[in-house]
């Protein structure tokens, strides 16, 4: 094949996916997500169960220094999102991570990233269904966990099938509850610190941040070991990239959503934790207990535990709702490239990838079975896998961005209208950081099991790719030709 034929094929591929240089793709989706919904989806993605529950165990490990860990990880997440933002405005497509991996790293990486991101959300959905069932158990202890998990699974599944607008509206209100609760917690905490009211008023003080064995009470090493849990708390911030194909005006809504990430991290993570650790001594927090529940109880707010329980329930359902949305879109992207059954590429009359959503929900249903068989262990079985899959996705975004910038500098591709500050330098910093976090996961005996699972997943996908090349060699060959033209 001549170089001109390769270039023509590459251009046709981009035309089918939506053009280059920022043109919005025509993928058949309904552009039903307005600015209000995209903004709140972006905010909601930065506030999850990892913050509401996971922070308790991390405070016990790191003390007040956890604030620095969240700030450090937050800066890296911003680098990741600005890298993704530059790619999105170069070519906004649904299923963006897999598409960019395919374009800049080759067809196998697109295939691997698409399926791995699908796995991340499926196992996250299982975990969040389990968490939601546990939270409902707080009010209705006689209702079996598996029954509650099944009800939530069916309700969210139906909502995702109806339309993207309904998904966006549900996600908007879920996120609104989380944001309102966190802002309320910060305002109340500042009131306690300033005016000394409530039963916590006598002991609340900024000096609580360093008064009990210092700011790093268990050493810098122990603080660094919390980074794996901190990164889990940030999973799903990249969801705004999946909405690119269904945003009404991606050129405006996506940069705005990404640029507001620093203040969201500063307010909801760093700010909320700082206030809580000033109001309540870090030594009073323990693993398995939400620091927000503990703070409300210490302040003495009536029904505080029930309020926080409702908020955390909302966070779990929000995450599960997002998982159903993103898995269906990712399966369609894989099907469009011949890397999944063709049936997944069809849209329903409401312009949703109904078959992909249905199959994904069926796999999430395994979480219902786990709640029936081992309700006390179901949550722990799946969360670490989601973290490893999320780190892979972020690495693919960053490496794709580095290669894209290299192609732009060489004049092979047009520049994006939303360039990342610092160019590829910040992406390299984030890549090194994520590799360090991976090493920390491998060092920790409790969490390294996820790396074993990912190794088995990689072997399974490798086998699937080999079978795909035998059955449909044109799929891999077409991807290789387009990759060679870009790289």
Q: How far apart are CA 327 and CA 249, in angstroms?
A: 22
What token pair was written down for 175?
């996120």
Q: How many residues does the chain have?
A: 487
C-alpha span between 116 and 388 (Å, rounded):
10
φ/ψ of 316, rounded to 5, equals: -65, -45
Q: What is the predicted pLDDT for the residue at 67?
A: 93
Label each residue of the chain as H, E or C.
CCHHHHHHHHHHHHHHHCCCCCCCCCCCCCCCECHHHHHHHHHHHCCCHHHHCHHHHHHHHHHHHHHHHHHHHHHHHHHHHHHHHHHHHHCCCCCHHHHHHHHHHCHHHHHHHHHHHHHHHHHHHHHHHHHHHHHHHHHCCCCCHHHHHHHHHHHHHHHHHHCHHHHHHHHHHHHHHHHHHHHHHHHHHHHHHHHCCCCCCCCCCHHHHCCCCCCCCCHHHHHHCCHHHHHHHHCCCCHHHHHHHHECCHHHHHHHHHHCHHHHHHHHHHHHHHHHHHHCCHHHCCCCCCHHHHHHHHHCCCCHHHHHHHHHHHHHHHHHHHHHHHHHHHHHHHHHCCCCCHHHHCCCCCCCCHHHHHHHHHHHHHHHHHHHHCCCCHHHHHHHHHHHHHHHHHHHHHHHHHHHHHHHHCCCCCCCCCCCCCCCHHHHHHHHHHHHHHHHHHHCCCCCHHHHHHHHHHHHHHHHHHHHHHHCHHHHHHHHHHHHHHC
Q: What is the pLDDT of residue 1?
A: 41
Q: Which of 245, 249, 444 is nearest to 336 (CA)?
A: 245
| Nearest in space to 273 (alpha carbons), one of 52, 72, 49 | 52
Beta carbons of 40 and 175 less than 8 angstroms apart: yes
Q: What is the pLDDT at residue 20?
A: 41
**C-alpha dihedral, 364 to 370 to 46 to 333, nearest 10°:** -20
* Backbone φ/ψ region at 414: left (φ over 0), alpha (ψ -120 to 50), beta: beta
- What pLDDT does residue 405 have? 96
Neighbours of 344 (CB within 10 A): 23
pLDDT score of 159: 84
Q: Round to whole Å and give the CA distance between 256 and 261.
A: 9
pLDDT under 70 in the chain at which residues?
Answer: 1-46, 48-50, 53-54, 94-96, 201, 241-248, 288, 302, 371-372, 374-383, 475-487
Contacts of 219 (CB under 8 A, 6+ apart): none
Distance CA 98, CA 103 (A): 9
What is the predicted pLDDT for the residue at 458?
94
Q: pLDDT of 367-417, one tens digit each?
A: 777 766 766 555 555 667 888 888 999 999 999 999 999 999 999 999 999
Res 380: pLDDT = 57
Decide if 196 contacts 190 (C-beta within 8 A).
no
The predicted model scores a pTM of 0.84
Region label for 138, one of left (φ > 0), alpha (ψ between -120 and 50) or beta (otherwise) = alpha
User: Quick one: pLDDT at residue 2?
Assistant: 38
């Amino acid at each position: 094949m001549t170089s001109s034929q390769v270039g023509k094929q590459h251009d046709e591929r981009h035309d089918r996916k939506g053009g280059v240089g920022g043109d919005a793709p025509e993928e058949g989706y309904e552009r039903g997500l307005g600015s209000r919904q995209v903004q709140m989806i972006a905010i909601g993605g930065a506030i999850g169960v990892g913050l509401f529950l996971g922070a308790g165990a991390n405070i016990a490990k790191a003390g007040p220094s956890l604030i620095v860990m969240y700030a450090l990880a937050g800066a890296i997440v911003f680098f990741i999102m600005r890298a993704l933002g530059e790619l999105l405005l170069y070519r906004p497509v649904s299923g963006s991570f897999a598409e960019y991996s395919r374009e800049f790293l080759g067809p196998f990486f697109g295939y691997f990233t698409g399926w791995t991101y699908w796995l991340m959300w499926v196992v996250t959905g299982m975990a969040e269904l389990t968490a939601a069932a546990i939270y409902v158990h707080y009010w209705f202890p006689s209702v079996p966990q598996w029954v509650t998990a099944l009800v939530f699974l069916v309700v969210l599944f139906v909502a995702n099938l109806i339309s993207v607008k309904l998904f966006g509206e549900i996600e908007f209100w879920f996120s609104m509850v989380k944001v309102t609760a966190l802002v309320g917690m910060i305002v109340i905490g500042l009131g306690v610190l300033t005016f000394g009211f409530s039963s916590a008023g006598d002991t609340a003080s900024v000096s609580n941040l360093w008064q009990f064995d210092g700011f790093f009470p268990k050493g810098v090493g122990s603080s660094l070991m919390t980074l794996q849990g901190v990164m889990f708390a940030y999973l799903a911030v990249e969801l705004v990239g999946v909405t690119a194909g269904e945003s009404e005006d991606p050129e405006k809504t996506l940069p705005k959503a990404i640029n507001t990430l620093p203040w969201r991290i500063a307010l909801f993570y760093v700010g909320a934790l700082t206030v809580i650790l000033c109001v309540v001594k870090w030594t009073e927090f323990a693993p398995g207990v939400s620091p927000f529940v503990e703070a409300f109880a210490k302040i003495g707010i009536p029904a505080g535990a029930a309020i926080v329980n409702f908020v955390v329930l909302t966070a779990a359902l929000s995450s599960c709702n997002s998982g159903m949305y993103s898995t269906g879109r990712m399966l369609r992207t894989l099907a469009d490239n011949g890397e999944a059954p063709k049936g997944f590429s069809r849209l329903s009359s409401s312009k949703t990838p109904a078959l992909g959503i249905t199959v994904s929900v069926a796999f999430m249903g395994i979480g219902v079975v786990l709640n029936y068989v081992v309700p006390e262990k179901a949550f722990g079985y799946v969360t670490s896998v989601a973290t490893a899959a999320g780190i892979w996705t972020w690495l693919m975004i960053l490496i794709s961005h580095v290669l894209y910038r290299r192609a732009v500098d060489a004049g092979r591709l047009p520049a994006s209208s939303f360039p990342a500050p610092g160019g590829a330098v910040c992406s390299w910093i984030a890549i090194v950081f994520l590799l360090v976090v991976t090493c920390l996961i491998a060092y920790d005996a409790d969490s390294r099991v996820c790396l074993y699972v990912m190794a088995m997943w990689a072997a399974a996908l490798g086998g699937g790719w080999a079978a795909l090349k035998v059955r449909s060699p044109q799929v891999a060959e077409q991807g290789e030709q387009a990759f060679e033209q870009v790289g």
